[in-house]
Amino acid sequence: KTSAISVPIVELPSRIVALEFKPNSENTVEMYLDNGWQLSFRIHNASTKVESSLKFDIQIISMPVSVLNIECKWRRMT
């Protein structure tokens, strides 16, 4: 039996192109990778007080279009 959907193989990054601080930021670094990937890394504490614990956030800024493909199939009403 064959699957009703097909899942494309996504090309993952294989090398770092650049790593630099985000403009006007002292705690966020942006990583530019090949194959259309870009990530943001931020180190912070979740409080206005000075504390010894830190948090590390990672966000995807951009990724290849093939990672997310929304396909809407409409049925014709007769």
What is the spatial order of strands in the sheet that 55-62 belongs to?
16-21, 28-33, 38-44, 55-62
The reported pLDDT for the residue numbered 17 is 97
4 falls within a domain: no
| pLDDT tens-digit map of 4-61 | 877 778 889 999 999 999 999 989 999 999 999 999 999 888 777 777 788 889 999 9
pTM of the model: 0.69
Does residue 77 register a pLDDT over 90? no
77 falls within a domain: no
The reported pLDDT for the residue numbered 16 is 97
User: If pLDDT is split at 50, 70 and 90, which confidence band does 70 have?
Assistant: confident
The reported pLDDT for the residue numbered 21 is 96
26 falls within a domain: yes
5 falls within a domain: no
46 falls within a domain: yes
Q: Could you tell me the residue range of the domain that residue 59 belongs to?
A: 16-64
The closest of 31, 39, 35, 40 to 66, measured between CA atoms, is: 35
Give the chain's domain count: 1
How far are the Cα atoms of 41, 49, 60 from residue 57, in angstroms, in the given order? 6, 19, 10
10 falls within a domain: no
The reported pLDDT for the residue numbered 14 is 95
1 falls within a domain: no
